[in-house]
Structure 1
């Protein structure tokens, strides 16, 4: 006799009382990734597919963190510069305000790092981060993100 998916008590935002919800639904709502087996070749592509969006948003920041003489962007590369963002989920106002405050601190720290490493003024980097900016390898080099084209 199959057991099925375990259910756990969970208070859905907006509801007054907790209800029994399947475990996978709770993990999804809490933005949790649970690995229940050893990472092998068969599942690495699935994990990579799930997580690639996180690294795509941090790619220019990671590139910027490299040794100045080693920052290389291949000719066909596209580098995106944008402001940090948070997933929008329903939260009570105090929790939301704390998240906004933390996001503001992160944005300021990231902008300072970009300004320091690229040599651009803080206000220029801050304005550029207001929208998604896609750059070619040559444009990234001119901006100061990479040193040379690979």
Structure 2
């Protein structure tokens, strides 16, 4: 799966991940440009050993972004849903990278931009596809 993704809906990305997990073929991922926010989650969700990025790609991870409004009870429910989403995403990153949950939570507290070598060291990708200039 080729990714140049600035992010998107958590629900939509989880639906794509469910499809990646359900189909028989193993899904490799390659980042061109940027894999940010939920795009980074899809990049990391590729089959281990088949997750790559181009040398000039950037990867950004953070906690899910959202907003809420409405009646007080609705806001409370939306905040609880956002907290549950964050915990789910952090657990997924921990599983995909092999990092301890506490380190993932530290990395996702705010926007964290990573070079391809930093993303590989963290375990988001398995390799960098070299190009000749």
TM-score, normalization by structure 1: 0.62
Q: 1:78 aligns with which of 58, 79, 85?
A: 58
Q: How many residues align?
A: 99
Residue 135 of structure 1, CA deviation? 0.3
Give structure 2 stretches of 5+ with no counterpart.
Answer: 10-35
Aligned runs of 1:122-133 on 2, under 5 Å? 122-133=101-112
Contact 2:7 2:37 in 1 (8 A): yes
Give structure 1 stretches of 5+ with no counterpart.
Answer: 1-50
CA–CA separation in structure 1 for the residues paired with 2:97 and 2:112: 15
TM-score, normalization by structure 2: 0.69
Match of 2:46 in 1: 66
CA–CA separation in structure 2 for the residues paired with 1:52 and 1:81: 11
Residue 126 of structure 1, CA deviation? 0.6
CA deviation string 1:34-72 (max 9, x = no partner): xxxxxxxxxxxxxxxxx9652743111000110111100
Match of 2:26 in 1: none
- Which of the pair is proportionally richer in strand? 2
Q: 1:103 aligns with which of 71, 82, 87?
A: 82
Q: 1:124 to 1:72 in 2, by over 3 A?
A: same
Where has structure 1 moved over 2 Å in runs of 4 or more?
A: none
Match of 1:145 in 2: 124
- Any idea what SS the aligned residue of 1:84 has? coil
CA RMSD of aligned residues (A): 1.7
Match of 1:34 in 2: none
